[in-house]
Structures are given as C-alpha cells and as structure tokens.
Structure 1
Amino acid sequence: MSRFWSPLLAAVLLTLASVACAGPDPDQVAQRAAPPGATVNTSPEQNRVRAEKVDAIAALVPQEIRDRGRLVVGTTGSGNPPLSFRADDDTTVIGVEPDIAHLVADVLGLELHLEPTSWENLFLAVESGQYDAGFSNVTVTEERKDKYDFATYRVDTVSFEVREDSPIQRIAEPKDVAGLTISVGSGTNQEEILLRWDEQNRAAGLAPVDFRYYQSPGDYYLALDSGRIDAYLGPNPTLAYHVAVGGTTRIVGSVSGGGDVKADIAAMTRKDNGLVRALNEALNTVIRNGSYAEVLDRWNLGSEAVATSEINPPGLPRKPLS
C-alpha cells in the first residue's frame, strides 16, 4: 500500500488531531502543523485498504440492492480534502469517506458506485432512494432521524484555524471568541456552536463576534490570509489537511461538533429502508478486523475513531421553535 503522508507529517497531524475530543491542550495547539508544501498523494491510484465479504452480513442487504449488485453511495466529492475530493485526474473521488464506503461495500459483497453531488442534493437523493446511502461527514441530529437512519463511524469535531503569525494562541470557550471576526459556514453545526457562544458572550457583556460568510474555501482562506478575518471555524479534518499542506496557518482549538454535547458522523440511509443494519454490521466488522483503523490512519484521523458503530444514537438536539 502506498503511503499518503511523510512520517513527519503523520506525526504532526496526529498531534494536532489529538486535541479533537477533549478540547485543546494549550501546550499543543500552538505547534506548527507541518513544513510548508508538505506533499500528499492525490493521484487516482490510491491502493485503498480493502476488506473481505462476510456472507452473513451480505444477507442483511435488501433484496433489491443484492440483485443489483451495486451499493450506490452519495458523497460531496469536491473541495473537502481529506474527506471527499477529486484526485489529480479531476475525476476519481478520493478521501476518507470514499475509503470507508469501499470497506463497507466489500463486506457486503457489492460493487461500490460513488455519486459525487452537492450537500443539498445528497439528502434529497438519499430520501428519494436515488442513492442507497450517504457517506459525507453527515452529523446525526434528531431532526434528520425523522427522515433517515444512521450508522455511526466517526466522532464529529470542529476546529478554529488562524494565520501562523496570529496573536491568537487558544480558543477553548466562549469568552475566547469575544470581539473576533470569524468565518463559518452558513447553516452548519459549527455556525450553531458559534451563535450559542456569541449569545453567551453578549449576555455576559462581552464584545460580539463579527460573523463573516463566504461561498468557497478559496474565499475564506483569502480572507484569512489577508487579515480580513481573525479565524475560520470548520470541520477538523478539512482544517487539519489545509494546515498540513499549506504551512501558513495553525489550529488553536477544537470542540465537539455538538458544542457541549457529543456528536457523531454516520452513514445515512432512507428511513426504514432496511439497509442500516447491514451498514452497521459491516462497519463493526471492519472496526474489529483493523481495516477501519488503517483507513483512518492513512488520512491521520485516528483520534476521530469510534469503538463501535451504533444505529441511530442520540443526535444533536432539535432547534427550538421560534
């Protein structure tokens, strides 16, 4: 199997990711993540980790999918390294999400058919049955459980990224963002966290956050580089990747994707379509046999591993009615 990262890059990203679940260690978060221009293998020849078919689990797959012989999986296949993005041929979808989907399809004895799509269409296509499942850094929420079933496979973590020369050394709690100009994705869980923190600060008489919204990663990183924003709040894997390959920024804090509550990343299926148990059993199989850990280690996301896959665990709370 080819190596994706140099030993130095692997070590520094594992250190960076280790702050993900328990909150940032002030002695660690200020470390530089990697030398500028660290090289990542983004060729279409990925030599992915693979798994063996397990007949008993394959038998759990709904008959329609078994007859078809393919597992159709939706993923947002561009702009989100190392989660799901395009290889150098601008066609092959690579990343940790496709790798885990491949493992699951292997255990189920199915050919994986990946469908790159937009975030909005992912949910519509899974709900309509166009896609059998979604593997795309989807967080379990109570609202989403009304329409979808979930089988968990990663811990959800979000992080704050600043310029290498920023005076900001640590962001660990609401008061740390008071008065800062921060970019965050509209409608995301991380926006909800930042909005709650800002509300607490305002109630305590602290300076408000200046929220900034941009349409693409290029836009918010240009804003960060130029000093128009103080920090960017986004999914930990994506920020860790950018820190490693860019060498001009660093992570200064990480929190659960649910803020004060645990959050899970999960495979998503249409509600009650009969597939979620098979996905859950397949995930637990690759967790036990070590191939799951090998995939996470390839992308330096071992700190986001789960001990077991769960079906429909408690999700992020419903938003209060206005």
Structure 2
Amino acid sequence: MRSHLTRTPRAWGVAALAALGLTLAGCADPEDGGTEPASAEDATGGQEGQEVNLSPEQDRITTEAVPDIAALVPEEIRERGTLEVISSAGTVPPLMFYATDDETVIGVETDIASIVADVLDLEVRYHVADWANIFVGLDSGRYDVGFSNITVTEERKEKYDFATYRLDNIAFEARADADWTVEGPEDVAGRSIGVSSGTNQEAILVSWSEQNEAAGLEPTDIRYFQNSTDYYLALSSGRLDAYLGPNPSAVYHSRTTGESKVIGSFSGAGSGLQGEIAATTQRDNGLIEALHAALNETIENGSHGEVLDRWGLSDEAVETSEINPPGLPPTD
C-alpha cells in the first residue's frame, strides 16, 4: 500500500534532530503524565547502540484487509479510498518524525496508522501539522483521524471519539551505569531530577517532593530543562541523577545510544488510572467503530505487537482496543 505525505508547516529534518538530541516538548500534550507504576519490567534500559532504520525505505509491517471490518467504514470514506491521517512530526522519535530524506514520515504512530489502513482496505495519507492544528483539522472534518500520541482525557471526550492502541507512560531516564530505580516518591528524595517546565511531569515531581518533605524525607532537587541537549549533557556529566519525560523518547534514546537507561515507568493518567493513547476522530463521525475493530484485528493477528517491538515499545502494548475508556480527569 502506498502512502502519501502532506506537511504544513515544514518541520526539522531528522539529521538535525539527531544532532540536537531532540526536544521533549513536541506532539505529546504536556498534560499527559501520571504516577501509577506501569510494571516491574519497565525499569530496564535499551540495548547498547541498537540500530534503528531511519531511511525512507521503511519496509513497513503490513497486514491483510478484512472485508467485514472494511464494511464498517463510512460510505464517503470508502468511496474516496483513502484514510486521511493527521499527526505532528519532526518532534520526538520514535513517535512520528522525518526520515533521513527530511520528507518521509516514520515512527510508531505512522506504522500503527498504516496497518489500520491495511485492515480497512484504504490507502493511508499522512498530513503533518503542529499540535493545535491536529484538533482544528479534526473539528473541520478535513482529516479523518489523528494518530499523534493523543491521550484520552475526559475533557477531550466531550468533542472526540477514541479507540485506544497504546499505553500512555512517562519514564525516569538515568545514565546507563545507574544502580538505582524509581518505584515511588521516596526514591527521588534528595535526588537531582530534571524535568521540562509547564508539563504534567513537573507537577508530579513537585507533588512527590512535597510528599517526601511531609514524611520527613529530603525534598527533590528539581532542575529545569527545555531541550534535551542540555539535560543529556547534565546526565552524562553526573550533574543530574535522572530526567523525567515521555516513556517513548526515553526508551528510544537509551535503545539507540546505550548511554542511558529507563529506571522507572509510570502511567500518564495519575494514580489509580492507566493512561492510554488513542486514535482520535471527530465525535460521532461514524468512523470510530471501524478503527476500533481494525485495531483489535491488528492486536489479534500480531502486527500491532510487531510494530511496537520494532520501535522498542512492547511495554506499552494494550491487550485490547477500547472505545472512549475513562480518561485523564480535568485539571483545575
């Protein structure tokens, strides 16, 4: 199946991103973060220097069309023959970013959209915009679905329908030789932890530090970074014990460089609720049932797991796709 790309505005090239070490303030909404441990297996690092295909020739995982599921697609989309997918690119590998040609979009979000389109017997067309314009495009009906690390929230459910396909986790990333792990607030007492300001990760870290102080433990030395070049330098020099950010980017960095490892992973929806990433459509546009069925088909036939494994995100697999599950609660 061929894919097409439309992008606006033009984003950084992948070579420039690699040189900069990447920024974490990208397509993932800053409010996506939480405090529920994901699993004991999450506190493991990637394989040293593991290579990832960054070329335009992706040889993407594919799967077969399923006529009964394809029949669930609204008639207008079936007649058009394309699935118009909107996402943010040029931000944080391995979510959705540009290949070495600075033209082809690649990443886990791209690959999930591709196998869903396969099941629906549609040609996938990728469109790239900044974060806010994803929702503007969905609201206008210009795009069918967003695959862009979008977390299910109760507020968003008022305007959009969701079909989940990946867990929303955040992670503590430390040097590869670190001999400690994070299982809860007490593990960051007295530690120097980096975070980006204005994110939910910051709110969590501040809350944990306050809990520790109330329990008679040392506060966390919270240090703020707005680009990854700076905090990776701080990590490598030992000036920072760990950095708290999105799990996929931490996994990707540790996997591809061997210089760091994930020492703790937590839900992106807060204590008591596992956050989930979902395909996002305009509410009641008739497409969510088809997307839901297609995602469950890819989970059952194994192609979904192959995609996650390809990008080092097997720990974010879901057992089944759900439509509009409980989401991140509204913020005050």
TM beyond 0.5: yes
Matched, 1:208 2:225: no
Question: What's 2:245 paired with?
Answer: 234
Q: How large is the Cα RMSD of the aligned pairs?
A: 2.3
Distance 1:75 1:109, change over 3 A: same
- The one-letter code sitting in structure 1 at the alignment partner of 2:188 is V
Matched residues in 2 for 1:97 and 1:39: separation?
A: 19
SS at match of 1:64: helix
Matches of 1:130 and 1:211 in 2, distance apart? 42
Partners of 1:121 and 1:227 lie apart in 2 by 39
- Corresponding position: 1:190 with 2:201: yes
Determine if the alignment matches structure 1 residue 21 to structure 2 residue 38.
Answer: yes
From 34, 48, 63, give the equivalent of 2:47: 34
| Percent identity for Structure 1 against Structure 2 | 57
Higher mean displacement: 185-194 or 264-273? 185-194
In structure 1, how many angstroms separate the alpha carbons of the residues matched to 2:176 and 2:115? 37
Please, which of 315, 319, 324 is the counterpart of residue 303 of structure 1? 315
36, 45, 52: which is aligned to 2:57? Answer: 45
Is it true that 1:127 corresponds to 2:117 in the alignment? no
Aligned to 1:177: 188
Contact 2:60–2:111 (8 Å) recurs in 1: yes
1:60 to 50, 72, 81: 72
CA contact (8 A) 1:24 1:172 kept: no
Q: 1:120 to 1:215 in 2, by over 3 A?
A: farther
In structure 1, list runs of 5 or more residues that go unmatched.
1-19
Equivalent pair of 2:74/2:286 in contact (CA under 8 Å): yes
Does the aligned pair in 1 maintain the 2:45–2:251 contact within 8 Å?
A: no
Residues 217 and 63 (structure 1), Cα distance of their counterparts in 2 relative to 1, 3 Å cut: farther
Distance in 2 of aligned mates of 1:63 and 1:187: 43
Whichever residue aligns with residue 320 of structure 2, its letter is: T
Q: Distance in 1 between matches of 2:242 and 2:111?
A: 30
1:223 to 1:302, Cα distance in 2 relative to 1, 3 A:
same
The worse-fitting range, judged by mean Cα deviation, of 261-270 and 290-299 is 290-299
Alignment partners' CA distance in 2, 1:24 and 1:296: 16
- What is the 5 A alignment of 1:1-322? 21-23=38-40, 29=43, 33-35=46-48, 37-166=49-178, 169-260=180-271, 261-319=273-331, 321=332
> For residue 94 of structure 1, what is the amino acid of its counterpart?
I
Contact 1:189 1:258 (C-alpha < 8 Å) held by counterparts: no
Which amino acid letter does the alignment assign opposite residue 57 of structure 2?
A: E
Shift of 1:284: 0.9
TM-score by length of 1: 0.83
Equivalent-residue separation in structure 2 for 1:62 and 1:114 (angstroms): 19
Task: Indicate how the Cα distance of structure 1 residues 185 and 109 shifts in structure 2: closer, same or farther if over 3 A, else same.
Answer: farther
Q: After superposition, give the CA deviation of every residue in 1:119-147 in whole Å (9 maximum; x if it has no partner).
A: 33323332333322111222111122122
How many residues are matched? 295
How far residue 236 of structure 1 moved from its aligned partner, in angstroms, is 1.8
- How many angstroms apart in 2 are the aligned matches of 1:179 and 1:193? 16
Name the TM-score, length of structure 2 as normaliser: 0.80
Q: Please tell me the residue identity of whatever aligns with 2:46.
A: A
The answer to whether the Cα contact below 8 Å between 2:45 and 2:263 also exists between their aligned partners in 1 is: no
- Unaligned runs of 5+ residues in structure 2 are 1-36
* CA–CA distance in structure 2, aligned partners of residues 115 and 41 of structure 1: 21
Query: Are the equivalent residues in 2 in contact too, given 1:284–1:308 (CA < 8 A)?
Result: yes
Q: Deviations over 1:25-69 (max 9, x none)?
A: 8xxx4x66333x332221111111112222232232223322332
* C-alpha distance in structure 2 between counterparts of 1:306 and 1:136, whole Å: 17
Question: 1:146 corresponds to which letter in structure 2?
Answer: E
The list of structure 1 runs, each at least 4 consecutive aligned residues, that deviate by more than 6 angstroms after superposition, is none
1:170–1:253 contact (8 Å) kept in structure 2: yes
Distance between the aligned counterparts of 2:207 and 2:222, measured in 1? 13
Cα contact 1:133–1:269 (8 A) shared by 2: yes
